[in-house]
Amino acid sequence: MSAFLTLLFRNRLAALGAVVIAAILILVLNIPLLPLHDPDVTATADRFMRPFAEGHLLGTDHLGRDLLSRLLHGTRLSLAVGIAAALIAAAIGSAIGIFAGYFGGRTDNIVMRGVDMLMAFPYILLALAIVAALGPGLMNALIAVAAVNVPFFARNIRGITVGLAGREFVDAARLAGMGHIRIVLTELLPNVLPVIVIAMSTTVGWMILETAGLSFLGLGSQPPQADLGSMLGEARSAMISHPHTSIVPGLMIFLIVMSINLLGDGVRDALDPRLRSGALSRPRATTLVKRHGDVPPATDELLAIQDLHTEFHVGKRNLRAVDGVSLAVRPGECLGVIGESGSGKSVTALSVMGLVASPPGVITGGAARFQGEDLIGAPYESLRQKRGNRVAYIFQDPLSTLHPLYRVGQQLAEAIRSHNNLSNTEARVRAIQLLNDVRIPNAKSRVDDYPHEMSGGMRQRVGIAMALANEPDVIIADEPTTALDVTVQAQILSLLDDLRRERGLAIIFITHDFGVVAQLCDRVAVMYAGQIVEEGPTQAVLDAPAHPYTKRLIACVPELGGGRRELAAIPGLPPVLDDLPPGCAFAPRCSKAAKRCRQGEIPLHGPAFHAVRCLFPERAL
């Protein structure tokens, strides 16, 4: 709650709106305590007195009634009606929305088509029709305004509910024996409540305006009762001769609606989890670089990551995602990077081309050199030239990396044309050739498919084709086969293997699967809590791991053909990155840990080809 308020008031305009509406609310709630005239007592002798006249601060209207008193009473009434209408509309609309969204199918169809019909009428016409049927009066105007706004809530809430009703926790509740009513009330309602509040906060102002509109037409509050709309309506005839009678209620309507809308937008932004997680603050085009210390000197490797440090600064927390990682690949070589979630393997890969989202990501040290040139802190234009051209990425989920509305051929052509000066037809020919290269059957007709028309394996081939589009020197593949079936995975792996042998591509292959590493990679680096704990030739590391973590991780993975058995597990959980223990990060889970393991930095040591970060390695190197 306090976090919500801080967020809300960080938005200056929302704070302004809150102050104005609070002031108005305090004024109208204290009406009985204020020395005001009776709003309905007429005194024709004193009609149309100007503002600041004696005894009448805002003057009087055409019947000599005190404008200030009428304004405050009218404001109170308008606010009450507007808020009541919003509450009623929200309650009925949300109930309809949840009902339709939860039951779905035919119920949903019938209910929502009814709501659509309600929406098809111009709102003022509908309100007029309702008031005409019920007769004029403030209560009926309230009903009309509420009815007109029900579809808005119903549609909004239905959309949210449809998404929630398919979630697994609703299935789990059904299996726990809960009935439909109980599921709606205890499982769905708490989850849609923020959306209802957001929808309400953005519509209250609108509803006050609509009520005022009906009163202006003489269909809302009846004389002598004052509300803002009827005051405007009565002042209309004297608009030219005595403008203050219409300006005063007009200004009040403006203030109320404006302040409520500003506050409502602020509430929406502060409550919406998507916006709260920083969707409003666009990430920079490249990762923020704030390097401390010296930049390591250049080497002659194709791609070298040197002592890289990448952190995430989230509020007061400082997450050390990558903590001094050094890796290098040569042409034609495949380097595997293996680790569990949170070990920093993906962040290492994304840091190379400045693709870590900033905020919150910050590169705080080290270098990433492509052919000796440091990419960290390089100007955006030079990075953009190399992204996809010299160093290309393949991501895990091809469905989320391909644009759903463009044909795959167009997307491939775009990737080609962004680095080469080719015509559309030439790019298309090249795209077909690329699809052939990644062994998509019928490339000529497949080039015009949309991503959703392809299977998962086909889409990942398109992802690989896109990475190959500009004949890069290095491909960084971040779990490219994790989302695929085993038979498809086998095909993709053999494709990558052929490509690097034919074209001399260097591949950095990020995965959590030892089987994949064993089949594809020449060398492997094992990461834990942002550091490399072991690096060496794949065969040597898998056959005789030197770090206890590597050894135990390999033991955890069941291997096909091993039969039914108890599996080895590593007790405990990986450490939290903003609270890393001193010394070895694995020490709390390690059976060999001694006092020395828990103090000071432990270096990666051993012969150049096989290094380990451990004081008590499993074997001598």
Partner 1 sequence: MPALKVEHLAKTYPQKRPLFGAAPPGVRAVRPMSFQVETGETLGVVGESGCGKSTLARMLVGLLEPTEGTIEVEGKALGTADPSEFGKLIQYVFQDPQSSLNPRKTIRQVMEAPLKRLHGMAKPARKRRIAEIFASVNLREEFLDRYPHEFSGGQAQRIGIARALAASPRIIILDEPVSALDVSVQAQVLNLLADLKTRFGLTYLFITHDLAVVEAVSERIVVLYFGAVVEIGRADRIFASPRHPYTGLLAESAPVVGRSLKAPEQKGIELPDPLNPPSGCAFAGRCPRATDLCRTREPELKQMGEDQLAACHYPLEN
| 399 lines the binding site for partner 1 (CB under 8 A) | no
HSE-CB of 619 using CA atoms within 13 angstroms: 12
Site string for partner 1, 164-183 (x = CB under 8 A): ---xxx-xxxxxxxxx--x-
Does 397 bind partner 1 (CB under 8 A)? Our answer is no
If the CB atoms of residues 390 and 552 are measured against partner 1, the closer one turns out to be 552
Min dist CB 563 to partner 1, Å, is 5
Helix, strand and coil content of the chain, in percent to the nearest 5, comes to: 55, 15, 35
- When the beta carbons of 102 and 216 are compared against partner 1, the nearer one is 102
By beta-carbon proximity to partner 1, the closer residue of 266 and 545 is 545
Please state the closest distance from residue 271 (CB atom) to partner 1, in A: 14
3-state secondary structure of 393: strand
Report helix, strand or coil for 344. coil
* Contact pick of 19, 279, 285, 556 for partner 1 (by CB under 8 A): 556
- The nearer residue to partner 1, 178 or 217, going by C-beta atoms, is 178
188 to 207, contacts with partner 1 by CB under 8 A?
A: 190-191
Site string for partner 1, 412-451 (x = CB under 8 A): ---------------------------xxx----------
Amino acid at 462: V
3-state secondary structure of 406: coil
Q: From the CB of 455, what's the least distance to partner 1, in Å? A: 6
Alpha-carbon gap, residue 422 to 325, rounded angstroms: 39
What is d(CA 117, CA 549) in angstroms, rounded to the nearest whole number? 64
Residue 518 interacts with partner 1 (CB under 8 A)?
yes
Tell me how far apart the terminal alpha carbons of the chain are, to the nearest angstrom: 56
* Gap between the Cα atoms of 511 and 465, Å rounded: 20
Least gap, CB of 50 to partner 1 (angstroms) = 57
Is 564 an interacting residue with respect to partner 1 (CB under 8 A)?
yes
Q: Please list every residue from 579 through 608 that binds partner 1, using CB under 8 A.
A: none
* 618 backbone dihedrals φ, ψ, rounded to 5°: -65, -25
What x-and-dash track marks residues 470-509 binding partner 1 by CB under 8 A? ---------------xxxxxxx-xxx-x------------
CA pair distance 484, 458, nearest whole angstrom: 10
Nearer to partner 1, 163 or 582 (CB): 163
Amino acid at 365: G
Residue 105 found at the interface with partner 1 (CB under 8 A): no
Contact call for residue 268 and partner 1 (CB under 8 A): no
Contact stretch for partner 1 (CB under 8 A) within 139-147, 358-366, 425-433, 556-564: 556-564
Which tokens hold the place of 478?
Answer: 């971040």
Across the chain, how many H-helices and E-strands are there? Answer: 23, 12
| 3 state DSSP class of 372 | coil
- Sign for the CA dihedral angle at 515, 525, 348, 274 comes to positive
Q: Is 111 in the site for partner 1 (CB under 8 A)?
A: no
The least distance separating partner 1 from the CB of residue 59, rounded to whole angstroms, comes to 53
Q: Between 135 and 571, whose beta carbon lies closer to partner 1?
A: 571
Q: One-letter amino acid identity for 223?
A: P
Instruction: Tell me whether residue 105 or residue 404 sits nearer to partner 1 (CB atom).
Output: 105
Residue 467 in contact with partner 1, rule: CB under 8 A: no
562: left (phi over 0), alpha (psi -120 to 50) or beta: alpha
| 106 binding partner 1? (CB under 8 A) | no
Residues 6 or more apart from 606 whose CB is under 8 A from it? 536, 546, 612, 617, 621
Distance from C-alpha of 386 to C-alpha of 381, rounded to nearest angstrom: 9
- Inter-CA distances, 257 with 156, 207, 223, 509, Å: 22, 9, 24, 57
Write down the least CB distance from residue 301 to partner 1, Å. 25
According to CB under 8 A, which one of 515, 537, 581, 588 is a site residue for partner 1? Answer: 515
Q: Are 90 and 82 in contact (CB under 8 A)?
A: no
Among 347, 364, 365, 369, CA closest to 356 = 347
Query: For partner 1, what does the binding mask look like between residues 318 and 357, x meaning CB under 8 A?
Result: ----------------------xx----------------
Nearest approach in angstroms of CB 484 to partner 1 is 9
Q: Which stretch binds partner 1 (CB under 8 A): 14-22, 202-210, 517-525, 607-615?
A: 517-525
Choose between 171 and 373: whose C-beta lies nearer to partner 1: 171
Question: Inter-axis angle of helices 424-437 and 456-468, to 10 degrees?
Answer: 120
197 in Cβ contact with 269 (< 8 Å): no
Nearer to partner 1, 19 or 556 (CB): 556
The nearer residue to partner 1, 373 or 485, going by C-beta atoms, is 485
Indicate which single residue of 566, 591, 595, 620 sits in contact with partner 1 (rule: CB under 8 A). Answer: 566
Residue 1 makes contact with partner 1 by CB under 8 A = no
Residue 552 touching partner 1 (CB under 8 A)? yes
Do the Cβ atoms of 24 and 259 come closer than 8 Å? yes
Q: Are 371 and 301 spatial neighbours (Cβ–Cβ below 8 Å)?
A: no
- Provide the binding-site residues for partner 1, judged by CB under 8 A: 167-169, 171-179, 182, 186-187, 190-191, 340-341, 439-441, 455-456, 485-491, 493-495, 497, 512-516, 518-520, 542, 552-553, 556-571, 573-574
